[in-house]
Structure 1
Amino acid sequence: MSVELIKGSHFRNLAINRPPDTYGRLTLLNSVGQEISRCKTSVRRGQPNPVYKETFVFQVALFQLSDVTLLVSVYNRRSMKRKEMVGWVALGQNSSGEEEQLHWQDMKDSRGQQVCRWHVLLEA
């Protein structure tokens, strides 16, 4: 399964009055919520509308797609390696909403074609 994190929009830095330094983290979970695999983008510094355009490949068999969850979370990296979650969204078995469930189903039905959607992050 190939996943591309393309861009974010309207990210704010709540702590100080400047654009945040953000990165995305993608975590693949099995049916009981255990981590199978994890990867993250590089940090986009001082960008309220960051463009990531990074693609990650997860080793998932077609028959396993109904039993896994992809957790996509965005973090603001603060000083001294501290981080705070900007928001998250989940797709797959434990989707965080109807739009995410539809995206996952469209991806499963797409026969290898890319399925691109915007998602609204849930607050941490």
Structure 2
Amino acid sequence: MSTTPSIDQLKRAITISEQIQKLEAELASILGSSAHVPSAAKVSVSAAAAKPGRRKRGLSAEGRARIAAAQKARWAKAKGDSDSETVAAPKAGKRRKKRNLSPEARARIVAAVKARWAKAKKAK
């Protein structure tokens, strides 16, 4: 059963083949140019496998700085910071007021918790 080699295997084969060619050239230079060095088995590689993989795209330092500044601005806006250089001070009255429970709502929650614990103790 014949299987096709994977891209990684082909890349490794190319690397080994190149090393063999370099060593053959070095051996020929040591023994003299008149000496014939038999070549090792050649690895046939398709043109697609010989091309390097898709190049990763990178960001320039300027692009990274713009992204970082925008993110800092979003955080400063969300936190309501006024000491941020990249964002103007938030307008007065725009911060959300802290919400408090009414005494009646708190009493209802406390009563429900006590009832839940009483039921749990009774079940034991």
Q: Highest CA radius of gyration, 1 or 2?
A: 2
Structure 1 or 2: larger helix share? 2
| TM score, norm. by length of structure 1 | 0.17
